[in-house]
Amino acid sequence: MLKAKTSEPTPVCRSDQVPELGKFSLTVLYQGVKREALLLRFKGVVYGYLNQCAHMPKALDCEASHVFDDSGRYIQCSMHSICYDPVTGASVSALCEGKKLKAFKVTETDEWVYLVDKKTQLVV
Ligand code: FES
């Protein structure tokens, strides 16, 4: 079922479902196309990204259950280990220099994470 298009924030999950350096998987309609996506928490803040590497059309967690590198500083694709800045989604690896993960806006209020992105709808 597709969540109705609305300007109101759409609740996605409880805050404790997105632990620090953890992930929460969801499906969204992003610019009209159904896509897999992730909520990630880094330094206490939740970020929303499509679950697709900028290098190749692979899920960031296609080869591993985690999405952060061992240092906890970068999102790391499990296929060829390209790293991304968790805040901007920009690649910090030479192989994909100048490329970014596709982000969507989320916010967190009263222990819930909400989707607040006009180009993105939650698919439930
Ligand atoms: S597909 Fe992600 S690093 Fe190559």
Q: What is the pLDDT of residue 124?
A: 87
- Binding site membership of 80 for ligand 1 (Cβ less than 6 Å): yes
- pLDDT above 80 for 3: no
The answer to whether residue 76 sits within a structural domain is yes
| Radius of gyration of the CA atoms of the chain, in A | 14
Read off the tokens for 88: 């901007």
Pairing state between β 103-104 and 83-84 = unpaired
Q: What is the CATH number of the domain that holds 20?
A: 2.102.10.10
- pLDDT above 60 for 4: no
pTM of the model: 0.94
- Binding site membership of 77 for ligand 1 (Cβ less than 6 Å): yes
Q: Nearest-5° angle of CA 54, CA 96, CA 23?
A: 45
The answer to whether residue 106 sits within a structural domain is yes
Each residue's pLDDT tens digit, 39-93? 999 999 999 999 999 999 999 999 999 999 999 999 999 999 999 999 999 999 9
Domain count, the chain: 1
CA of 72 to the centre of ligand 1 (A): 18
The answer to whether residue 4 sits within a structural domain is no
- Binding site membership of 56 for ligand 1 (Cβ less than 6 Å): yes
The answer to whether residue 124 sits within a structural domain is no
- pLDDT above 60 for 122: yes
In this structure, the residue with its CA closest to atom 4 of ligand 1 is 80
> Which residues form the domain of 54?
10-115
